[in-house]
Homo-oligomer: A and B are copies of this chain.
Amino acid sequence: MAERLVVIGGDAAGMSAASQARRRRNADDLEIVAFERGRHTSYSACGIPYWVGGATSGPDALIARTADEHRARGIDVRLGTEVTAVDPAAGRVLARDAEGHEAWTSYDHLVLATGAVPVRPPIPGIGAPGVYGVQTLDDGEAVLRGLDRGGVRRAVVVGGGYIGVEMAEAMLLHGLDVTLVDRDDEPMSTLDPDMGRLVRKALEGLGVKVASGAAVREVLLGGDGRVRAVSTDDATYPADLVVLGLGVRPGTELAAAAGLPTGAYGGLLTDRSMRVRGTERIWAGGDCVEVWNLVSGTLQHIPLGTHANKHGRIIGTNIGGGYATFPGVVGTAVSKVCDVEIARTGLKESQARAAGLQYVSAVIESTSRAGYYPDAAAMTVKVLAERGTGRLLGLQIVGREGAAKRVDIGAVALTAGLTVDRMVDLDLGYAPPFSPVWDPVLIAARKAAEAVAKDLAREQAP
- The distance from the CB of A441 to the nearest CB of chain B, in whole angstroms, is 8
Q: Which residues of B contact A428 (CB under 8 A)?
A: 306, 332, 408, 411
- Of A73-81, A123-131, A429-437, the one contacting chain B is A429-437
Within 8 A of B (CB), among A302-341: 304-307, 309-310, 326-327, 329-336
Give the contacting residue for A429; candidates B64, B309, B343, B429; CB below 8 A.
B343
For residue A424, which residues in chain B have a CB less than 8 angstroms away from its CB? 310
Is A57 an interface position by the 8 A CB rule?
A: yes
Q: Are A334 and B432 in contact (CB under 8 A)?
A: no
Do B372 and A57 have beta carbons less than 8 Å apart? yes
User: Contact between A345 and B427 (Cβ–Cβ < 8 Å)?
Assistant: yes
A152 neighbours in B (Cβ, 8 Å): none
Stretch of A44-52, A113-121, A194-202, A349-357 at the chain-chain interface: A44-52
Given A335-B431, A405-B405, A425-B310, CB of A370 within 8 Å of CB of B44: yes
By beta carbon, the residue of chain B nearest A343 is B429
Query: Within residues 426 to 459 of chain A, which ones have a CB less than 8 A from any CB in chain B?
Result: 426-435, 437-439
Of the candidates B334, B336, B343, B434, the one whose C-beta lies within 8 Å of that of A404 is B434
- A255 in the interface, Cβ–Cβ < 8 Å? no
Given the complex of chains A and B, what is the CA–CA distance between A310 and B370 in angstroms? 16
Which listed residue, B46, B404, B408, touches A408 by the CB 8 Å rule? B408
Q: A358: CB under 8 A from chain B?
A: no
Contact B429 A345 (CB under 8 A): yes
Q: Which residues of B contact A404 (CB under 8 A)?
A: 429, 431, 434
A304 contacts across to B, CB distance below 8 A: 430
- Are A46 and B418 touching (Cβ within 8 A)? no
Contact for A327 among B56, B57, B64, B425, CB less than 8 A: B425
Determine the chain B residues whose CB is within 8 A of the CB of A329 once the complex forms. Answer: 427
In the complex, chain B residues whose CB is within 8 Å of the CB of A305: 430, 437
11 inter-chain pairs at a CB distance below 8 angstroms, sorted by A residue, are: A46-B437, A50-B433, A58-B372, A306-B430, A330-B427, A331-B427, A345-B429, A405-B406, A411-B426, A415-B418, A415-B422
What CA separation (Å) do A162 and B429 show in the bound complex? 13
A55 at the interface (CB under 8 A from B): yes
- A418 CA to B425 CA, complexed, in Å: 17
Does A98 lie at the interface of the complex (its beta carbon under 8 Å from any beta carbon of B)?
no
Verify if A363 is at the interface (C-beta below 8 Å from B). Answer: no
- Whether a CB of chain B sits under 8 angstroms from the CB of A12 is yes
A432 touches B57 (CB 8 A): no
Residue A374 interfacial (CB < 8 Å)? yes
How far does the Cβ of A250 sit from chain B's closest Cβ, in whole Å?
A: 19
Is A413 part of the binding interface, using a Cβ–Cβ cutoff of 8 Å?
Answer: yes
Within 8 A of B (CB), among A376-426: 402, 404-409, 411-413, 415-418, 422, 424-426
Is residue A373 within 8 Å, beta carbon to beta carbon, of the partner chain? yes
Q: Are A306 and B438 in contact (CB under 8 A)?
A: yes
A49 nearest CB across to chain B (Å): 8
Q: Pick the most buried of A56, A62, A329, A426: most chain B CB atoms within 10 A of its CB.
A: A426
A402: contacting residue among B55, B64, B405, CB under 8 A: B405
Q: Does A2 contact B (CB under 8 A)?
A: no
Most buried by B among A64, A331, A409, A437: A437
B343 touches A432 (CB 8 A): no
Given A333-B429, A407-B429, 16 additional A-B pairs, CB 8 A: A12-B437, A44-B432, A46-B431, A47-B370, A57-B372, A307-B427, A310-B425, A327-B422, A329-B427, A330-B427, A332-B427, A336-B434, A343-B429, A406-B408, A409-B409, A413-B416
Bound complex: CA of A286 vs CA of B413, how far in Å? 26
